[in-house]
Amino acid sequence: GAAALGGAGVGWSAATAVAATAPAPPAASGPTTVVGPPAGAQTVPALGRHQTGIATTPQAHLALVGWDLKPGAGRRDLARMMRLLSDDAARLGAGRPALADTEPDLALHPARLTVTFGFGPQVLRTLVPAQRRPVLEELPAFSRDELEEQWSQTDVVAQICCDDPVTLAHARRMLLKDARPFAEVRWIQHGFRTARGTVPEGTTSRNLMGQVDGTVNPTEADPDFAPLVWTQTSDTDPFAGGTFLVVRRIRMQLDRWDRVDRAGREGVIGRRLDTGAPLTGTDEFDAPDFSATDHLGLPVIDPASHVARARSSDPTQRFLRRAYNYTEPDPRRSTGEDSGLLFLAYAADLARQFVPVQQRLDELDRLNAWVTTVGSAVYAVPPAAPAGGYVGQTLLE
């Protein structure tokens, strides 16, 4: 699935060449596990017309930054901000210090750093001229949502992803610094997946409920990946090659989940906990058989299970999931922490592809008894910066 680690489209920065020709460490100095260049040298190459960090195999760490433009900020201000941030993203992603970087040594191990920018609906309405404006509507209300203002829609978002948390912290700080004259931070949401090296590359990550999460997901090898993810408009459209991002902060009630036995937990999703295989199969990637029944004549995969409800018979009601786990200390909770999933999904058309699925899950999904959505936002994610330009330029100039 797209949750695989490593994968295509990974380049090496200059540091690789040095590491590859460096003398081998002396033998018998203890267990030797390092083979080849360090993962910190890896860079994600530019992807032509698309921003990176979308089709990119998910990195281990996420910092999602939501800004609101300062009152009175206009199109010129946003353009200036995006020029600075795009430059930071390009340099840092290549393993080079940002302009006026105060800690240039922290920039040298890019570890697949990517920064992906998006604009909220309000920015599109007020700062992007109508003839260049992509269509993005706020999500409809969902009955089960318990949205907290703290995690709500912002004007601008940066999805910063990296395999190394130190590099990530540095990149985040540089972006925050450069955005400060133009915008105020509303939230920063941190997330994580299984670290590089913990499991073989290609292993699907697990979420904090213990489930293998990310198995059924379009991958770049699928012929319909491009139409599902990238806006398919004429080449002259300023948004061609862009996409849309939906952010849902979903809290898990893990203390109550703890009380459910293994068979019950597997029934909620419709998949096994150990392998992630559907309850009708043996391998993670087996196709689920929703018509199979047990000796009592009952469906093996509950029609109200998460996978049964999330799957659509309409193949266009699909999107790219790129979710991260989150856990934060929360002394107000008896558990002492707040945990869940930062559900990030990319689609060429949220209203057509994402909303019907979310509506179905809102109506009925056995998982709902243990999860609550507390944050929600949508963004238009412009195509990559034009040569010598910045992300969003085709919309703003």
- The residues of the shown chain that bind ligand HEM, judged by CB under 6 A, are 207, 209, 211-216, 248, 250, 252, 269, 271, 306-307, 310-311, 340-341, 343, 357-358, 361, 367, 371
| 317/310 Cα distance (integer angstroms) | 10
Residue 336, C-beta contacts closer than 8 angstroms, at least 6 positions apart: 329, 330
Given a contact cutoff of 8 angstroms between Cβ atoms, the answer to whether 279 and 287 are in contact is no
Residue whose CB is less far from ligand HEM, 97 or 276: 276
| 219/238 Cα distance (integer angstroms) | 25
Distance in Å, CB of 248 to ligand HEM, minimum = 5
| 49/67 Cα distance (integer angstroms) | 25
Distance in Å, CB of 213 to ligand HEM, minimum = 4
And the tokens for 42?
């890896």
And the tokens for 192?
């994580």
Q: Which amino acid would we find at residue 136?
A: L
Verify whether residue 213 is a known catalytic residue: yes
User: What DSSP state is assigned to residue 369?
Assistant: G
Distance in Å, CB of 382 to ligand HEM, minimum = 24
Distance in Å, CB of 373 to ligand HEM, minimum = 7
Distance in Å, CB of 354 to ligand HEM, minimum = 6
Given a contact cutoff of 8 angstroms between Cβ atoms, the answer to whether 278 and 290 are in contact is no
Residue whose CB is less far from ligand HEM, 116 or 358: 358
| 84/72 Cα distance (integer angstroms) | 19
Chain centroid to Cα 122, Å, comes to 22
Residue 387, C-beta contacts closer than 8 angstroms, at least 6 positions apart: none
Distance in Å, CB of 215 to ligand HEM, minimum = 4
Residue whose CB is less far from ligand HEM, 56 or 373: 373
CA atoms within 13 A on the CB side of 309: 18
Residue whose CB is less far from ligand HEM, 83 or 366: 366
E strands present in 234-323: 243-252, 320-321
Residue whose CB is less far from ligand HEM, 168 or 216: 216
Residue whose CB is less far from ligand HEM, 103 or 283: 283
CA atoms within 13 A on the CB side of 5: 21
Q: Quick one: which H or E segment has residue 80?
A: helix 75-93
Residue 136, C-beta contacts closer than 8 angstroms, at least 6 positions apart: 121, 124, 244, 350, 378, 379, 380
And the tokens for 261?
């036995």
Distance in Å, CB of 257 to ligand HEM, minimum = 10
Residue whose CB is less far from ligand HEM, 201 or 363: 363
Q: Which amino acid would we find at residue 231?
A: T
Distance in Å, CB of 245 to ligand HEM, minimum = 13
Residue whose CB is less far from ligand HEM, 65 or 269: 269
Number of other residues whose CB lies within 10 A of the CB of residue 211: 21
- Indicate which residue of 213, 302, 349, 365 is catalytic: 213
Give 77: exposed, middle or buried? Use CB within 10 Å, 0-12, 13-18, 19+. middle
Report the catalytic residues. 213
